[in-house]
A and B are shown apart, each in its own frame.
Chain A
Amino acid sequence: EAQVTQNPRYLITVTGKKLTVTCSQNMNHEYMSWYRQDPGLGLRQIYYSMNVEVTDKGDVPEGYKVSRKEKRNFPLILESPSPNQTSLYFCASSFVGGGGEQFFGPGTRLTVL
C-alpha cells in the first residue's frame, strides 16, 4: 500500500529534551516536506527536500533540523524543543513537477511542557 508513515503519532516531552520524528514513504517520491499545523494559521512549511542530500528551509524553520540521507526517509529533529513548538506535524511527499498531489502522513501531535 502506497503511504507515508510517521512516528510517533503522539508525543509529550519536556523543554530541552532532543527528539526526532521519523517520516518514511514507499512511493519513490523525490520531494518530501514537513509542515506544522496551528489553529487559525493553516499548514506552514518547516523544511523540504527536492531529493537525497538536498534540503531547504520553508517558512518556519527556526528550531528544527532535517536530513535526507535516503530517498524514502526524511526525519524532523528538534534539538531543544520549546513550548511554542507544541503543534500538529505532518510529513508529505510527492513527485517533483506536474500536478502530482502531495501525500500526507497521519500526523504527529507534539506537546512540549
Chain B
Amino acid sequence: AQKITQTQPGMFVQEKEAVTLDCTYDTSDPSYGLFWYKQPSSGEMIFLIYQGSYDQQNATEGRYSLNFQKARKSANLVISASQLGDSAMYFCAMRDHNAGGTSYGKLTFGQGTILTVHP
C-alpha cells in the first residue's frame, strides 16, 4: 500500500526567504508519480509540480522545485523567494503508474503542511 507522510503540521517563513516542505513516501511500485498541491484558504486545490519516479532531474516550475531523493523516498518541495500569497496548506501526493496494479491511477495524499509567510 502507498503512504505519504508530511511531518510538519505548520511552517513559518519570512517573506522573500526560501522554505522547504518535507514529504516522504512509501511504495513497492517501481513506477509512480509525485505531486504537490496548494490549497489556499478559499479551498480550491491548485497543482504545483510533478516528478516521475524515472525522471533523472528534479522538477522545477517557476519558484517551485522538487528535491527528489529516490533512495531516501523523499520528495520535498522548495519554495524560493516566498511571497505573502504563498500562505496556504500544501499537500504532497503520490500516484501509482503501474498499469494493471490494484491501485493504478489512485492518488494518495499526505496530511498537509500549513505554511505561513510573515512580512
Interface residues of A (CB under 8 A from B): 31, 33, 35, 40-45, 48, 50, 58, 88, 90, 92, 94, 96-99, 101-104, 106-107, 109
Interface residue count on the B side (C-beta < 8 Å): 25
Interface of B (DSSP majority class): strand
Binds A, one of B11-19, B66-74, B107-115: B107-115
Q: Is B63 an interface residue when CB atoms closer than 8 A count as contact?
A: no
Which residues of the partner chain A approach B108 to less than 8 Å between Cβ atoms?
Answer: 45
Which residues of the partner chain B approach A88 to less than 8 Å between Cβ atoms?
Answer: 43
Which residues of the partner chain A approach B99 to less than 8 Å between Cβ atoms?
Answer: 97
Contact with A along B33-51 (1 / 0, CB 8 A): 1010100000111010010
A99-B52, A101-B50 are known contacts. Are A44 and B44 too (CB-CB below 8 A)?
Answer: no
Which residues of the partner chain B approach A50 to less than 8 Å between Cβ atoms?
Answer: 104-105
Which residues of the partner chain B approach A94 to less than 8 Å between Cβ atoms?
Answer: 105
